[in-house]
Amino acid sequence: MAILSALRPHLHWPVPSLPRLARFGLMWRAVATRRQLAEMDDRMLRDIGISRADALQEVERAPWDLGRRI
């Protein structure tokens, strides 16, 4: 529990009131979509308007980091 409380300021849940299982589902989806993003070639990334550097930055995010990057 001490580890979780130390990480709490860094957790970015989009909707904190979601049940634990729903949050796990969101994290699982984030991992899957970030993996797909990592597999895209430069042409595909250009088509969706994302640079290779932005894609790599997104791929390296922690699974629980679900907040929007500004």
In a domain, 23, yes or no: yes
The answer to whether position 27 is within a domain reads yes
Write out the residue range of the structural domain in which residue 26 sits.
19-70
Residue 2 above 60 pLDDT? no
- Model pLDDT, residue 62: 92
Q: Which DSSP letter does residue 8 get?
A: G
In this predicted model, what pLDDT tens digit does every residue of 41-67 receive, in sequence order?
999 999 999 999 999 999 999 998 988
Count the domains in the chain.
1
Position 47 in a domain: yes
Residue 2 structure tokens: 């001490």
Reported as a single tens digit per residue, the pLDDT across 9-34 is: 455 555 556 687 888 899 999 999 99
pLDDT for residue 6 is more than 50: no
The values of phi and psi at residue 36, to 5°, are -65, -40
CB within 8 Å of 48: residues ≥ 6 apart: 40
The pTM of this model reads 0.65
3 within a domain of the structure (yes/no): no
